[in-house]
A = this chain, B = another copy of it.
Amino acid sequence: MASSKPPRGMRDFLPDQVRKRDYVIGVIKSVYEKYGFEPLETPAVENLSTLSNKYGEEGDQLMYKILKRGEKLSKKLESGQVRNENDLSDLALRYDLTVPLARVMANYRNELPRFFKRYQIQPVWRADRPARGRFREFYQCDVDAIGSRSMLVEAELCTAVCEILEGLGFDDYLIKLNNRVLLFAILESAGIEAGVRDQSVVILDKLEKIGPQKVIEALCRIGVSAAAADSLLGLFSDLGKLTVGETISAISAFAKDSSAAQEALKEIGEVAELSGIERLKVDCSLARGLSYYTGAIIEVVLTGGDFSGSVAGGGRYDELIGMFGKEEIPAVGLSIGLERIILIMEERGMFPESITTSGADVLVTLWNEDAAADSLKLASELRSAGKRVLVYPEPDKLGKQFKYADQIGVKTVCVLGESEIKDKTVTIKNLKTGNQETVSRETAAEAIDTALK
Protein backbone atom coordinates (compact mmCIF):
# COMPACT_ATOMS: atom_id res chain seq x y z
CA MET A 1 0.00 0.00 0.00
CA ALA A 2 1.30 3.46 -0.89
CA SER A 3 2.32 5.78 1.93
CA SER A 4 -0.32 8.17 3.16
CA LYS A 5 2.17 10.92 3.99
CA PRO A 6 2.58 14.16 2.05
CA PRO A 7 5.99 14.66 0.37
CA ARG A 8 8.90 15.43 2.67
CA GLY A 9 8.97 19.08 3.77
CA MET A 10 5.40 19.70 2.58
CA ARG A 11 2.25 19.96 4.66
CA ASP A 12 -1.40 19.05 4.68
CA PHE A 13 -3.49 21.73 6.35
CA LEU A 14 -6.40 20.32 8.34
CA PRO A 15 -9.42 22.60 8.88
CA ASP A 16 -8.17 24.36 12.04
CA GLN A 17 -4.87 25.16 10.34
CA VAL A 18 -6.57 26.41 7.17
CA ARG A 19 -8.72 28.71 9.30
CA LYS A 20 -5.67 30.16 11.03
CA ARG A 21 -3.89 30.73 7.74
CA ASP A 22 -6.97 32.26 6.15
CA TYR A 23 -7.36 34.57 9.13
CA VAL A 24 -3.82 35.95 8.80
CA ILE A 25 -4.10 36.21 5.02
CA GLY A 26 -7.46 37.96 5.43
CA VAL A 27 -5.96 40.65 7.69
CA ILE A 28 -3.07 41.19 5.28
CA LYS A 29 -5.38 41.42 2.27
CA SER A 30 -7.80 43.83 3.87
CA VAL A 31 -5.04 46.26 4.85
CA TYR A 32 -3.40 46.11 1.42
CA GLU A 33 -6.77 46.64 -0.27
CA LYS A 34 -7.32 49.75 1.85
CA TYR A 35 -4.01 51.08 0.54
CA GLY A 36 -5.13 50.50 -3.04
CA PHE A 37 -2.95 47.44 -3.67
CA GLU A 38 -4.54 44.96 -6.04
CA PRO A 39 -4.38 41.17 -6.13
CA LEU A 40 -2.29 39.35 -8.74
CA GLU A 41 -2.00 35.61 -9.28
CA THR A 42 0.42 33.78 -11.54
CA PRO A 43 0.68 30.05 -12.39
CA ALA A 44 2.47 27.67 -10.03
CA VAL A 45 4.41 26.52 -13.08
CA GLU A 46 6.68 28.75 -15.16
CA ASN A 47 8.68 28.07 -18.29
CA LEU A 48 12.11 26.91 -17.19
CA SER A 49 13.65 29.63 -19.38
CA THR A 50 11.76 32.24 -17.34
CA LEU A 51 13.31 31.09 -14.06
CA SER A 52 16.75 29.88 -15.11
CA ASN A 53 19.74 31.98 -14.05
CA LYS A 54 17.56 34.32 -12.01
CA TYR A 55 18.36 33.03 -8.54
CA GLY A 56 22.05 32.23 -8.70
CA GLU A 57 23.55 28.75 -8.64
CA GLU A 58 21.80 27.78 -5.40
CA GLY A 59 18.45 28.75 -6.84
CA ASP A 60 18.98 26.65 -9.95
CA GLN A 61 19.76 23.69 -7.70
CA LEU A 62 16.82 24.13 -5.33
CA MET A 63 14.29 24.68 -8.10
CA TYR A 64 11.74 21.92 -8.76
CA LYS A 65 11.93 21.15 -12.47
CA ILE A 66 9.17 19.37 -14.35
CA LEU A 67 9.86 16.45 -16.65
CA LYS A 68 9.12 16.90 -20.34
CA ARG A 69 6.17 14.86 -21.53
CA GLY A 70 5.29 12.44 -24.28
CA GLU A 71 7.39 12.37 -27.44
CA LYS A 72 9.63 15.24 -26.37
CA LEU A 73 10.84 13.11 -23.50
CA SER A 74 10.88 9.70 -25.17
CA LYS A 75 12.88 11.00 -28.17
CA LYS A 76 15.40 12.57 -25.85
CA LEU A 77 15.75 9.39 -23.83
CA GLU A 78 16.02 7.19 -26.91
CA SER A 79 18.72 9.42 -28.36
CA GLY A 80 20.91 8.52 -25.38
CA GLN A 81 22.10 12.13 -25.46
CA VAL A 82 20.83 13.37 -22.12
CA ARG A 83 23.56 15.73 -21.00
CA ASN A 84 21.85 17.74 -18.29
CA GLU A 85 18.58 18.63 -16.62
CA ASN A 86 17.59 21.09 -19.33
CA ASP A 87 17.40 18.21 -21.81
CA LEU A 88 14.77 16.60 -19.61
CA SER A 89 12.83 19.59 -18.35
CA ASP A 90 10.97 22.52 -19.90
CA LEU A 91 9.00 23.81 -16.90
CA ALA A 92 9.68 24.55 -13.23
CA LEU A 93 7.74 25.39 -10.09
CA ARG A 94 7.54 29.04 -9.01
CA TYR A 95 10.56 29.88 -6.86
CA ASP A 96 9.56 33.36 -5.70
CA LEU A 97 6.99 36.02 -6.58
CA THR A 98 9.34 38.70 -7.90
CA VAL A 99 10.40 37.10 -11.18
CA PRO A 100 6.78 36.28 -12.09
CA LEU A 101 5.90 39.92 -11.31
CA ALA A 102 8.67 41.13 -13.61
CA ARG A 103 7.36 38.78 -16.32
CA VAL A 104 3.80 40.06 -15.83
CA MET A 105 4.98 43.68 -16.02
CA ALA A 106 6.57 42.97 -19.40
CA ASN A 107 3.69 40.89 -20.75
CA TYR A 108 0.79 43.19 -19.86
CA ARG A 109 2.51 46.57 -20.08
CA ASN A 110 -0.49 48.25 -21.72
CA GLU A 111 -3.16 46.66 -19.52
CA LEU A 112 -1.58 47.63 -16.22
CA PRO A 113 -1.73 51.11 -14.71
CA ARG A 114 1.33 53.34 -14.73
CA PHE A 115 1.60 53.03 -10.97
CA PHE A 116 0.87 49.38 -10.38
CA LYS A 117 0.39 48.46 -6.74
CA ARG A 118 -0.01 44.74 -6.40
CA TYR A 119 -0.03 42.13 -3.68
CA GLN A 120 0.43 38.44 -4.30
CA ILE A 121 -0.02 35.70 -1.73
CA GLN A 122 0.81 32.32 -3.23
CA PRO A 123 2.98 29.28 -2.51
CA VAL A 124 6.50 28.82 -3.83
CA TRP A 125 8.58 25.64 -3.89
CA ARG A 126 12.22 25.10 -2.99
CA ALA A 127 13.96 21.75 -2.61
CA ASP A 128 15.73 23.04 0.49
CA ARG A 129 16.69 20.84 3.45
CA PRO A 130 13.56 20.86 5.66
CA ALA A 131 14.01 22.29 9.17
CA ARG A 132 11.86 23.81 11.90
CA GLY A 133 9.89 26.56 10.19
CA ARG A 134 11.48 25.82 6.81
CA PHE A 135 9.33 24.01 4.29
CA ARG A 136 9.61 22.94 0.67
CA GLU A 137 6.21 24.38 -0.12
CA PHE A 138 5.56 27.68 1.63
CA TYR A 139 3.60 30.84 1.05
CA GLN A 140 5.17 34.11 0.11
CA CYS A 141 3.27 37.27 0.66
CA ASP A 142 4.65 40.09 -1.46
CA VAL A 143 3.51 43.66 -1.90
CA ASP A 144 5.14 45.93 -4.46
CA ALA A 145 4.53 49.45 -5.71
CA ILE A 146 5.77 49.82 -9.24
CA GLY A 147 6.37 52.84 -11.43
CA SER A 148 7.33 55.63 -9.03
CA ARG A 149 10.54 56.85 -7.41
CA SER A 150 8.65 58.91 -4.83
CA MET A 151 9.45 58.28 -1.14
CA LEU A 152 5.73 58.46 -0.53
CA VAL A 153 5.65 54.89 -1.78
CA GLU A 154 8.21 53.65 0.74
CA ALA A 155 6.32 55.49 3.47
CA GLU A 156 3.00 53.85 2.56
CA LEU A 157 4.56 50.39 2.45
CA CYS A 158 5.94 50.87 5.96
CA THR A 159 2.65 52.22 7.29
CA ALA A 160 0.70 49.34 5.75
CA VAL A 161 2.94 46.67 7.27
CA CYS A 162 2.60 48.29 10.71
CA GLU A 163 -1.16 48.29 10.33
CA ILE A 164 -1.09 44.60 9.41
CA LEU A 165 1.04 43.69 12.42
CA GLU A 166 -1.17 45.71 14.74
CA GLY A 167 -4.25 44.16 13.15
CA LEU A 168 -2.82 40.73 13.99
CA GLY A 169 -2.14 41.82 17.58
CA PHE A 170 1.63 42.44 17.58
CA ASP A 171 2.85 45.32 19.72
CA ASP A 172 6.61 44.67 19.73
CA TYR A 173 7.48 45.32 16.11
CA LEU A 174 10.17 47.71 14.94
CA ILE A 175 10.72 49.07 11.44
CA LYS A 176 14.42 49.27 10.58
CA LEU A 177 15.32 51.57 7.75
CA ASN A 178 18.50 51.86 5.73
CA ASN A 179 19.52 52.91 2.26
CA ARG A 180 21.94 51.07 0.07
CA VAL A 181 23.49 54.25 -1.30
CA LEU A 182 24.00 55.57 2.22
CA LEU A 183 25.57 52.31 3.31
CA PHE A 184 28.23 52.53 0.64
CA ALA A 185 28.78 56.26 1.22
CA ILE A 186 29.41 55.56 4.91
CA LEU A 187 31.95 52.89 4.03
CA GLU A 188 33.65 55.37 1.73
CA SER A 189 33.66 58.08 4.40
CA ALA A 190 35.12 55.62 6.89
CA GLY A 191 37.99 55.09 4.47
CA ILE A 192 37.14 51.61 3.24
CA GLU A 193 38.45 51.01 -0.28
CA ALA A 194 35.95 50.53 -3.11
CA GLY A 195 37.20 46.99 -3.88
CA VAL A 196 36.19 45.54 -0.51
CA ARG A 197 32.97 47.45 0.11
CA ASP A 198 30.67 44.66 -1.09
CA GLN A 199 32.33 42.21 1.30
CA SER A 200 32.28 44.80 4.08
CA VAL A 201 28.50 45.18 3.70
CA VAL A 202 28.03 41.45 4.23
CA ILE A 203 30.17 41.56 7.38
CA LEU A 204 28.51 44.69 8.72
CA ASP A 205 25.07 43.11 8.25
CA LYS A 206 26.05 40.70 11.06
CA LEU A 207 26.81 43.48 13.57
CA GLU A 208 23.80 42.75 15.77
CA LYS A 209 24.54 39.04 15.75
CA ILE A 210 28.30 38.91 16.35
CA GLY A 211 29.06 42.29 17.99
CA PRO A 212 31.47 45.11 17.06
CA GLN A 213 34.76 43.40 17.98
CA LYS A 214 34.21 40.46 15.64
CA VAL A 215 33.07 42.80 12.87
CA ILE A 216 36.32 44.78 13.18
CA GLU A 217 38.37 41.57 13.07
CA ALA A 218 36.50 40.32 10.03
CA LEU A 219 36.91 43.66 8.25
CA CYS A 220 40.65 43.66 8.91
CA ARG A 221 40.90 40.12 7.56
CA ILE A 222 39.57 41.24 4.15
CA GLY A 223 42.09 44.08 4.05
CA VAL A 224 40.24 46.99 5.62
CA SER A 225 42.68 49.17 7.57
CA ALA A 226 42.33 49.17 11.36
CA ALA A 227 41.74 52.92 11.26
CA ALA A 228 38.87 52.58 8.76
CA ALA A 229 37.29 49.70 10.70
CA ASP A 230 37.57 51.66 13.97
CA SER A 231 36.11 54.75 12.36
CA LEU A 232 33.16 52.77 10.99
CA LEU A 233 32.39 50.94 14.22
CA GLY A 234 32.86 54.15 16.14
CA LEU A 235 29.97 55.64 14.18
CA PHE A 236 27.75 52.67 15.00
CA SER A 237 28.53 52.71 18.70
CA ASP A 238 27.53 56.39 18.74
CA LEU A 239 24.19 55.69 17.06
CA GLY A 240 22.95 53.23 19.69
CA LYS A 241 20.02 54.91 21.39
CA LEU A 242 19.57 57.97 19.19
CA THR A 243 16.24 59.10 17.75
CA VAL A 244 15.71 59.09 14.01
CA GLY A 245 16.53 62.79 13.77
CA GLU A 246 19.68 62.48 15.90
CA THR A 247 20.83 59.46 13.89
CA ILE A 248 20.42 61.34 10.65
CA SER A 249 22.41 64.29 12.05
CA ALA A 250 25.19 62.05 13.32
CA ILE A 251 25.56 60.21 10.02
CA SER A 252 25.30 63.45 8.11
CA ALA A 253 28.25 64.79 10.08
CA PHE A 254 30.21 61.56 9.62
CA ALA A 255 29.70 61.54 5.84
CA LYS A 256 29.70 65.30 5.42
CA ASP A 257 31.76 65.18 2.22
CA SER A 258 29.48 62.70 0.42
CA SER A 259 26.64 64.26 -1.54
CA ALA A 260 25.28 60.75 -2.16
CA ALA A 261 25.05 60.24 1.61
CA GLN A 262 23.31 63.58 2.11
CA GLU A 263 20.76 62.71 -0.60
CA ALA A 264 20.14 59.25 0.88
CA LEU A 265 19.75 60.72 4.37
CA LYS A 266 17.19 63.14 2.99
CA GLU A 267 15.30 60.15 1.56
CA ILE A 268 15.40 58.29 4.88
CA GLY A 269 14.19 61.41 6.68
CA GLU A 270 11.34 61.72 4.22
CA VAL A 271 10.22 58.11 4.68
CA ALA A 272 10.38 58.48 8.46
CA GLU A 273 8.42 61.71 8.41
CA LEU A 274 5.83 60.71 5.81
CA SER A 275 5.12 57.35 7.40
CA GLY A 276 4.82 58.94 10.84
CA ILE A 277 5.72 55.59 12.42
CA GLU A 278 6.92 55.83 16.01
CA ARG A 279 8.42 52.35 16.16
CA LEU A 280 11.00 53.20 13.47
CA LYS A 281 14.77 53.13 13.69
CA VAL A 282 17.48 54.05 11.21
CA ASP A 283 19.92 51.13 11.12
CA CYS A 284 22.84 51.71 8.76
CA SER A 285 24.24 48.22 9.25
CA LEU A 286 21.18 46.68 7.60
CA ALA A 287 21.92 45.16 4.20
CA ARG A 288 19.57 42.14 3.96
CA GLY A 289 22.02 40.17 1.89
CA LEU A 290 20.46 41.01 -1.46
CA SER A 291 22.54 42.91 -3.93
CA TYR A 292 19.61 44.08 -6.01
CA TYR A 293 18.46 46.88 -3.71
CA THR A 294 19.14 50.31 -5.14
CA GLY A 295 17.75 52.61 -2.44
CA ALA A 296 15.71 52.04 0.70
CA ILE A 297 16.29 48.84 2.65
CA ILE A 298 13.52 47.93 5.08
CA GLU A 299 13.33 45.24 7.71
CA VAL A 300 10.56 44.59 10.19
CA VAL A 301 11.57 42.77 13.38
CA LEU A 302 9.81 41.61 16.52
CA THR A 303 11.71 42.53 19.65
CA GLY A 304 9.77 40.88 22.47
CA GLY A 305 8.93 37.39 23.63
CA ASP A 306 10.95 34.25 23.06
CA PHE A 307 11.20 35.04 19.42
CA SER A 308 12.96 38.05 18.09
CA GLY A 309 13.87 38.41 14.49
CA SER A 310 12.73 39.44 11.08
CA VAL A 311 9.08 39.02 10.05
CA ALA A 312 9.15 41.15 6.92
CA GLY A 313 11.70 42.83 4.72
CA GLY A 314 12.24 44.54 1.44
CA GLY A 315 13.39 47.71 -0.18
CA ARG A 316 13.71 49.60 -3.42
CA TYR A 317 15.01 47.76 -6.46
CA ASP A 318 14.78 50.02 -9.48
CA GLU A 319 16.74 47.76 -11.82
CA LEU A 320 15.03 44.40 -11.37
CA ILE A 321 11.42 44.61 -12.55
CA GLY A 322 12.44 45.64 -16.05
CA MET A 323 14.41 42.41 -16.64
CA PHE A 324 11.96 41.00 -19.21
CA GLY A 325 11.48 44.29 -21.01
CA LYS A 326 13.49 47.08 -22.54
CA GLU A 327 13.12 49.84 -19.97
CA GLU A 328 14.03 50.30 -16.33
CA ILE A 329 10.95 50.26 -14.09
CA PRO A 330 11.33 51.67 -10.57
CA ALA A 331 9.86 49.51 -7.82
CA VAL A 332 9.79 49.13 -4.09
CA GLY A 333 8.44 46.09 -2.29
CA LEU A 334 8.10 44.20 0.94
CA SER A 335 7.70 40.51 1.63
CA ILE A 336 5.90 39.40 4.78
CA GLY A 337 7.08 36.14 6.34
CA LEU A 338 3.68 34.51 6.48
CA GLU A 339 4.85 31.10 7.72
CA ARG A 340 6.95 32.68 10.46
CA ILE A 341 4.14 35.00 11.57
CA ILE A 342 1.72 32.06 11.82
CA LEU A 343 4.30 30.11 13.86
CA ILE A 344 4.87 33.02 16.28
CA MET A 345 1.15 33.68 16.63
CA GLU A 346 0.65 30.02 17.53
CA GLU A 347 3.48 30.07 20.07
CA ARG A 348 2.19 33.28 21.61
CA GLY A 349 -1.45 32.11 21.55
CA MET A 350 -2.52 35.11 19.50
CA PHE A 351 -5.31 33.55 17.42
CA PRO A 352 -8.82 34.64 18.42
CA GLU A 353 -10.84 31.79 19.93
CA SER A 354 -13.44 32.06 17.18
CA ILE A 355 -10.76 30.97 14.67
CA THR A 356 -9.37 28.04 16.57
CA THR A 357 -12.64 26.29 17.38
CA SER A 358 -14.84 24.08 15.25
CA GLY A 359 -16.39 25.21 12.04
CA ALA A 360 -20.01 24.74 13.12
CA ASP A 361 -22.03 26.80 15.59
CA VAL A 362 -24.56 24.13 16.31
CA LEU A 363 -25.39 20.46 15.75
CA VAL A 364 -28.97 19.39 15.05
CA THR A 365 -29.73 15.89 16.28
CA LEU A 366 -31.50 13.19 14.29
CA TRP A 367 -34.21 11.37 16.28
CA ASN A 368 -34.96 8.59 13.78
CA GLU A 369 -35.04 8.12 10.03
CA ASP A 370 -38.57 9.46 9.75
CA ALA A 371 -37.48 12.67 11.47
CA ALA A 372 -34.75 13.46 8.91
CA ALA A 373 -36.92 15.96 7.04
CA ASP A 374 -37.66 17.78 10.30
CA SER A 375 -33.99 17.98 11.25
CA LEU A 376 -33.06 19.26 7.81
CA LYS A 377 -35.84 21.83 7.95
CA LEU A 378 -34.64 23.13 11.31
CA ALA A 379 -31.06 23.26 9.94
CA SER A 380 -32.27 25.24 6.96
CA GLU A 381 -34.06 27.74 9.23
CA LEU A 382 -30.96 28.19 11.37
CA ARG A 383 -28.73 28.60 8.31
CA SER A 384 -31.06 31.30 6.99
CA ALA A 385 -30.46 33.03 10.32
CA GLY A 386 -26.72 32.93 9.56
CA LYS A 387 -25.73 29.94 11.68
CA ARG A 388 -23.24 27.29 10.60
CA VAL A 389 -25.16 24.08 11.16
CA LEU A 390 -24.26 20.40 11.17
CA VAL A 391 -26.99 17.76 11.02
CA TYR A 392 -26.06 14.46 12.66
CA PRO A 393 -26.56 12.09 9.72
CA GLU A 394 -27.60 8.89 11.49
CA PRO A 395 -30.30 8.00 14.05
CA ASP A 396 -27.87 7.13 16.86
CA LYS A 397 -28.63 7.35 20.58
CA LEU A 398 -28.87 10.96 21.75
CA GLY A 399 -25.95 10.48 24.16
CA LYS A 400 -23.75 9.45 21.27
CA GLN A 401 -24.81 12.51 19.28
CA PHE A 402 -23.99 14.80 22.23
CA LYS A 403 -20.62 13.14 22.65
CA TYR A 404 -19.84 13.60 18.98
CA ALA A 405 -20.72 17.32 19.12
CA ASP A 406 -18.45 17.70 22.12
CA GLN A 407 -15.58 15.83 20.43
CA ILE A 408 -15.59 18.08 17.39
CA GLY A 409 -15.87 21.23 19.47
CA VAL A 410 -19.46 22.26 18.70
CA LYS A 411 -20.77 24.11 21.72
CA THR A 412 -24.54 23.97 21.22
CA VAL A 413 -26.85 21.11 20.29
CA CYS A 414 -30.41 21.47 19.04
CA VAL A 415 -32.35 18.42 20.14
CA LEU A 416 -35.28 17.55 17.93
CA GLY A 417 -36.91 14.60 19.71
CA GLU A 418 -40.36 13.11 19.47
CA SER A 419 -42.02 15.68 21.71
CA GLU A 420 -40.19 18.63 20.16
CA ILE A 421 -41.31 17.60 16.69
CA LYS A 422 -44.91 17.20 17.88
CA ASP A 423 -44.92 20.56 19.71
CA LYS A 424 -42.91 22.42 17.07
CA THR A 425 -40.26 23.25 19.64
CA VAL A 426 -36.51 22.69 19.98
CA THR A 427 -34.45 21.88 23.05
CA ILE A 428 -31.24 23.87 23.03
CA LYS A 429 -28.44 22.38 25.06
CA ASN A 430 -25.25 24.24 25.96
CA LEU A 431 -22.60 21.52 26.11
CA LYS A 432 -20.24 23.63 28.20
CA THR A 433 -22.64 24.41 31.03
CA GLY A 434 -25.01 21.48 30.53
CA ASN A 435 -27.92 23.93 30.65
CA GLN A 436 -30.82 23.31 28.32
CA GLU A 437 -34.09 24.98 27.51
CA THR A 438 -36.98 24.17 25.23
CA VAL A 439 -38.06 27.03 22.98
CA SER A 440 -40.37 27.54 20.02
CA ARG A 441 -38.92 26.89 16.54
CA GLU A 442 -39.21 30.57 15.61
CA THR A 443 -37.00 31.69 18.48
CA ALA A 444 -34.40 28.92 18.12
CA ALA A 445 -31.72 31.04 16.40
CA GLU A 446 -32.05 33.71 19.05
CA ALA A 447 -31.82 31.16 21.85
CA ILE A 448 -28.61 29.77 20.28
CA ASP A 449 -27.10 33.24 20.26
CA THR A 450 -27.85 33.50 23.97
CA ALA A 451 -26.41 30.04 24.61
CA LEU A 452 -23.24 30.83 22.62
CA LYS A 453 -22.55 34.02 24.56
Contact = CB atoms under 8 A, between A and B. Distances in A.
A150 interface: yes
Contacts of A108: 12, 14
Contacts of A42: 6, 12-13
B12 A107 contact: yes
Nearest to A387: B34
A33 interface: yes
A153 B45 CA distance: 37
A118 B19 CA distance: 13
Given A43-B6, A91-B7, A359-B33, A376 B274 contact: yes
Contacts of A93: 44-45, 66
A126 B261 CA distance: 54
Interface string A353-387: 00000011000001000001101100010010011
Interface stretch (A69-77, A242-250, A285-293, A434-442): A69-77
B18 A41 contact: yes
A446 interface: no
Contacts of A387: 34
Contacts of A107: 4-6, 12
A197 B386 CA distance: 47
A404 interface: yes
A49 B12 contact: no
A11 interface: yes
A21 B40 CA distance: 11
Nearest to A82: B77
Contacts of A150: 372, 393-394
A106 B12 CA distance: 12
A112 interface: yes
Interface string A88-125: 11010100000010011011100111110110000101
Contacts of A169: none
Main secondary structure of the interface of A (DSSP, over half): mixed
A425 to B, nearest CB: 21
Given A50-B3, A359-B36, A359-B37, A113 B407 contact: yes
A46 interface: yes
Contacts of A34: 383, 386-389
B10 A45 contact: yes
Contacts of A407: 113
Contacts of A421: none
Given A3-B50, A15-B39, A113-B408, 9 more contacts: A3-B49, A4-B103, A34-B388, A36-B389, A148-B393, A152-B376, A152-B391, A152-B393, A159-B376
23 contacts: A4-B103, A4-B107, A4-B325, A6-B42, A6-B47, A10-B45, A12-B104, A21-B41, A22-B39, A33-B359, A36-B391, A39-B359, A44-B44, A66-B93, A67-B67, A67-B88, A69-B127, A73-B85, A113-B404, A113-B408, A156-B376, A276-B373, A276-B376
